[in-house]
Structure 1
Amino acid sequence: MEIPVSFKEFDIVEVRFKGGRKEFFRNINHLPLITGDAVVVDVPNGHHIGHVSLKGELVRLQMNKKKVQNNDEIRSIYRVATEKDMEKFNLAREQEPTTMYRARAIVQELKLKMKLSDVEYQADKTKATFFYSADDRVDFRELIKKLAEEFKVRIEMRQISLRHEAGRLGGIGSCGRELCCSTWLTDFKSVSTTAARYQNLSLNPSKLSGQCGRLKCCLNYELETYMDALKDIPNVNRPLQTKAGDAFLQKTDIFRRIMWFGYRGDSNWFPVPVERVQEVLKMNAAGDMPENLAEEVKKQLPEVVDFVESLEGNLDRLDEQYKAKKKRNKKKGKGTAPAAEALATGAPTPEARRDQPTGRPAGGERRPRPERNGNRPEGGENKPRPEREAQAKGQQPQGKPRPEREPRADREQNQGRPPREGNRPPRQERAQNPRPPQNKPQPMAAQALGNATVATPDRPERGPRPEGEQRGRRSRNRGHRNRKPGAPEGGSPSPQPEA
């Protein structure tokens, strides 16, 4: 969009310096400036470099807002800064940190009650401005003399408030954004604790104060909105009198226009609309008291109660959802039983599996179980025990004392067996198929006698096993059970040589 020919651009430009400081300068040379350009401006006793922050008709509005008059006191802009100007300006800014540290040391030597926060060198390095904050007036005449001797420049001391100090240093506020005083806020208004009271904020200094140590400036942003909303809300200075007891004000929701009251000794709070509170106040002023504040709330505030009931209903539906999941899991577990029964009925019987040893007779009948004393029941039938009969009928079997077991040797004599020697019974002699002795490693006792073999009286020598005959697994592993170290594979201990 082209500018009209008759339109004359405003010739004053706003220039920003270090720390957010802004001043107005006149563009007498009509330079084509753009926001952000570095320009050399006229300052008392020299020149300085700043950046263009605003131009055009908006500058006129800012001057009206800050009440700056458009007269001859406004200084002019010399030129756009060149590379040589920027090099000198950068060299001057690099000396600022060391200058501030040395100036703080001098302040401590003089024992002055002031705090140096920042130093700003002029672009031509002819003047240094020291910004400080102090609670009382400070006599810094001796300080200026020492600083001038130390840095060989003109010294200017400028006192700033704590809010301006925080704006110059910058930082991040509790809201997570950059401080307002270092970005856009230029006018600092006084903030009091009444602003926090009107907004029902907790009067906690650590939460209400900013990085400058004063109350936050943002407390004034919404104060007017709260003041307009508080016009129709009554000021309750005394508790509401009811027949159920005195109701004390606990909290006020300003924008929803609901006030919460609680009885003495009761931890429950009851919401009451502003209209109902005004009625109760009028009744108390006339000497009358309502029946119960909670009942009135239920009649006049069905929405609040419905909201609570709907919330509880949602929780109940959530519980029912989890119960339905548990029922589905139980149904899935029940459905596995018929499948297991089908697999059990379709399994092959022992008669069909003739290739595998079963340990049962071919007829499928159970072999009668012998009694412990060696006597079998008459007729070869297994009679169930009385305890098992009671257990099958669903009765609890009576606990009978278990008879003591006979010693092993006596039990073997009653069964007509010879007593065992050691851990294994003696083997029976085999009359047929004598087996020749095999070449096996001799025990240590036999090697000590010159590898002389000693024949055992219990085991005769065996002959070769005929072809096709296999040795039973039980007899194969018998020679390896409970064998002591140093004993032969036959299992019987080797006799010790006679002395």
Structure 2
Amino acid sequence: MEFKLHNGSGGLCCKSCGRQDKQLNTYDWLADIPGNAEESDMVEVQFKNTRKGYFRNSNKIPLEKGDIVAVEATPGHDIGVVTLTGRLVPLQMKKANIKSEADIKRIYRKAKPVDMDKYNEAKSREHSTMIRARQIALNLNLDMKIGDVEYQGDGNKAIFYYIADERVDFRQLIKVLADAFRVRIEMKQIGARQEAGRIGGIGPCGRELCCATWMTSFVSVSTSAARYQDISLNPQKLAGQCAKLKCCLNYEVDCYVEAQKRLPSKEIELETKDGSFFFFKADILSNQITYSTDKHIPANLITISGRRAFEIIGLNKRGIKPDSLIEETHRTEPKKPVDLLEQESLTRFDRNRKGRNGGERNGGNGNENNNRNKKKKKSGNRPQGGEQPAAIQANNQGEQQPKQREQRQGERPQRNNNRRPPRNNKPKPQGDRPTPNDKPAQE
């Protein structure tokens, strides 16, 4: 089965992914290439939990990712799931450091219903076997913890995974377990991190444990990783569910080590005319250091950059004491914080509209009116084709202005500048009313 992409760039093969543990997942990016499975007779098979094996397909059985097969084991046979075929299997074997091909066993056949019945019956006994084995180890006063039990596919062998801080003599335990369960016993020691990865869980970050999802190799974690990052050495916060230091302490330690090289030593004192300053704390990633005038308590705290601290150290070596820790040029008002979510606001476009329409609402003082006035000024000053220069036009305009004014005054109707007489309360005589041009009688 193949899923075709709509852009026509190729196909997405569903055989590349399969049902398997996340730690052991291998994406077969060559699965959709014709003839890939016949390139190599080696096959990768996964069993319960974090156990993988490589087997030879000597019978040339057509296998695909996800097929359940019966493979050779000592003694009997085991049941597993095919997780990888083709050209990538030799590369995975090289990564797992498997060199001798003499120890590589072969695949018998695809699993039959009879094989699956035996397999399911053996798996159903694993939990009860683990509980009883823990009680037997406790009765023998052994300082160990049995974390998991895995039965072989045919039920003839059981693998006991245990955790112990010191060397344990479990020869007597093997005899008691063999008599109790009537199977062949194999003991495998694992660490606390491997046990947490097998059990799984949710970390304090809210995500599934790294050891249960993608981590395959566990690097030792020391308290120096917490010291480099200025993390308080609180065992309750630094320890994970495995009671060991969290693996995520190693994720950013290299970045902190590089950033700490740009900071001066904590033991160096800064001498100024105001007094001596001692190291109080540092923000490693932002390259900021806080100094105090007292060596034991925070007093008169001043925060400067690492570059400024190195400048003062250089001046002190030459016997010069600066006036203060802070530079004069850097004594500016702190910048206002920038709202990074402002660009996602739904009303970010309304502010510009208010500024544009504000001129009409506020009596014509808005941006639109100003822009119109500017356009008019620019258009009035631009010389057009066939016109005279600007200086000659200015003189001609000065001569034409008084003529235009006279013409306008002649066209306008003349106003009567005489004032109206004051109103009298006496009744007016009836008759013809005086015209506006008639002048009142002078007394």
TM-score under structure 1 normalisation? Answer: 0.56
Task: Identify the match of residue 283 of structure 2 among 233, 247, 253.
Answer: 253
**One-letter amino acid matched to 2:335:** D
Q: How far 1:56 moved relative to its partner?
A: 3.5
Task: Identify the match of residue 142 of structure 1 among 144, 165, 172.
Answer: 172
Instruction: Determine the structure 2 residue equivalent to 1:307.
Output: 336
Percent sequence identity over aligned pairs: 49
Query: SS in structure 1 opposite 2:329?
Result: helix
Corresponding residue pairs, total = 308
**Higher CA-based Rg:** 1
Task: Identify the match of residue 72 of structure 2 among 42, 48, 59.
Answer: 42
- Aligned equivalents of 1:188, 1:301: Cα separation in 2: 49
Task: Identify the match of residue 84 of structure 1 among 91, 105, 114.
Answer: 114
- Aligned equivalents of 2:300, 2:82: Cα separation in 1: 61
Structure 1 residues 53, 208: CA separation in 2 closer, same or farther (over 3 Å shift)?
farther
More moved, 59-68 vs 161-170: 59-68
- Aligned equivalents of 1:110, 1:7: Cα separation in 2: 51
- Aligned equivalents of 2:300, 2:190: Cα separation in 1: 51
Equivalent residues of 1:41, 1:48 under 8 A apart: yes
Mapping of residues 285-296 of structure 1, within 5 Å: 285-293=317-325, 295-296=326-327
Q: How far 1:102 moved relative to its partner?
A: 1.1
Verify: 1:133 aligned to 2:163, yes or no: yes
What does the per-residue CA deviation read over 1:443-496, in whole Å, with 9 as the maximum and x for residues that have no partner? xxxxxxxxxxxxxxxxxxxxxxxxxxxxxxxxxxxxxxxxxxxxxxxxxxxxxx
More moved, 267-276 vs 43-52: 267-276
Structure 1 residues 217, 62: CA separation in 2 closer, same or farther (over 3 Å shift)?
farther
Structure 1 residues 80, 221: CA separation in 2 closer, same or farther (over 3 Å shift)?
farther
Equivalent residues of 2:146, 2:161 under 8 A apart: yes
- Aligned equivalents of 2:63, 2:301: Cα separation in 1: 64
- Aligned equivalents of 2:246, 2:298: Cα separation in 1: 37
- Aligned equivalents of 1:174, 1:122: Cα separation in 2: 36
Verify: 1:282 aligned to 2:311, yes or no: no
Instruction: Determine the structure 1 residue equivalent to 2:139.
Output: 109
**One-letter amino acid matched to 1:183:** T
Mapping of residues 349-360 of structure 1, within 5 Å: none
Q: How far 1:153 moved relative to its partner?
A: 0.9
What does the per-residue CA deviation read over 1:187-217, in whole Å, with 9 as the maximum and x for residues that have no partner? 1111111112222222221222211111122
Instruction: Determine the structure 2 residue equivalent to 1:193.
Output: 223
Equivalent residues of 1:89, 1:124 under 8 A apart: yes
Instruction: Determine the structure 1 residue equivalent to 2:148.
Output: 118
Q: How far 1:54 moved relative to its partner?
A: 3.1
Q: How far 1:116 moved relative to its partner?
A: 0.9
Task: Identify the match of residue 234 of structure 1 among 258, 264, 267.
Answer: 264
Unaligned runs of at least 5 residues, structure 1: 312-499
Query: SS in structure 2 opposite 1:197?
Result: helix
Instruction: Determine the structure 2 residue equivalent to 1:451.
Output: none
Equivalent residues of 1:20, 1:183 under 8 A apart: no
Verify: 1:72 aligned to 2:102, yes or no: yes
CA RMSD of aligned residues (A): 2.7
- Aligned equivalents of 2:234, 2:226: Cα separation in 1: 10
What does the per-residue CA deviation read over 1:121-161, in whole Å, with 9 as the maximum and x for residues that have no partner? 11111111111111111111111111111111111111111
Instruction: Determine the structure 1 residue equivalent to 2:58.
Output: 28
Verify: 1:55 aligned to 2:82, yes or no: no
Instruction: Determine the structure 1 residue equivalent to 2:304.
Output: 272
Structure 1 residues 254, 118: CA separation in 2 closer, same or farther (over 3 Å shift)?
same
More moved, 268-277 vs 157-166: 268-277
Structure 1 residues 258, 64: CA separation in 2 closer, same or farther (over 3 Å shift)?
farther
What does the per-residue CA deviation read over 1:30-55, in whole Å, with 9 as the maximum and x for residues that have no partner? 43433333222212212111222333
- Aligned equivalents of 1:288, 1:54: Cα separation in 2: 70
**Higher RCO (C-alpha under 8 Å, 6+ residues apart):** 2
Query: SS in structure 2 opposite 1:108?
Result: helix
Instruction: Determine the structure 1 residue equivalent to 2:385.
Output: none
Unaligned runs of at least 5 residues, structure 2: 1-9, 11-31, 340-443
Query: SS in structure 1 opposite 2:89?
Result: helix
Query: SS in structure 1 opposite 2:264?
Result: coil
Query: SS in structure 2 opposite 1:155?
Result: strand
Equivalent residues of 2:37, 2:85 under 8 A apart: no
Structure 1 residues 7, 86: CA separation in 2 closer, same or farther (over 3 Å shift)?
closer
Instruction: Determine the structure 2 residue equivalent to 1:318.
Output: none
Q: How far 1:83 moved relative to its partner?
A: 2.9
What does the per-residue CA deviation read over 1:294-343, in whole Å, with 9 as the maximum and x for residues that have no partner? x32x63375x82237x89xxxxxxxxxxxxxxxxxxxxxxxxxxxxxxxx
- Aligned equivalents of 2:207, 2:246: Cα separation in 1: 14
Q: How far 1:101 moved relative to its partner?
A: 1.2
Instruction: Determine the structure 1 residue equivalent to 2:255.
Output: 225
Instruction: Determine the structure 2 residue equivalent to 1:436.
Output: none
- Aligned equivalents of 1:36, 1:64: Cα separation in 2: 22
Structure 1 residues 159, 252: CA separation in 2 closer, same or farther (over 3 Å shift)?
same
Structure 1 residues 204, 301: CA separation in 2 closer, same or farther (over 3 Å shift)?
farther
Q: How far 1:96 moved relative to its partner?
A: 0.9
Instruction: Determine the structure 2 residue equivalent to 1:244.
Output: 274
Query: SS in structure 2 opposite 1:120?
Result: strand
Instruction: Determine the structure 1 residue equivalent to 2:204.
Output: 174
Query: SS in structure 2 opposite 1:275?
Result: helix
Q: How far 1:275 moved relative to its partner?
A: 1.1
- Aligned equivalents of 1:202, 1:188: Cα separation in 2: 23
Equivalent residues of 2:71, 2:79 under 8 A apart: yes
- Aligned equivalents of 1:202, 1:54: Cα separation in 2: 45
Equivalent residues of 1:20, 1:182 under 8 A apart: no
- Aligned equivalents of 2:103, 2:121: Cα separation in 1: 30
- Aligned equivalents of 1:119, 1:291: Cα separation in 2: 72
Equivalent residues of 1:19, 1:169 under 8 A apart: no
- Aligned equivalents of 1:136, 1:6: Cα separation in 2: 47
Task: Identify the match of residue 262 of structure 1 among 292, 304, 312.
Answer: 292
Q: How far 1:267 moved relative to its partner?
A: 5.3
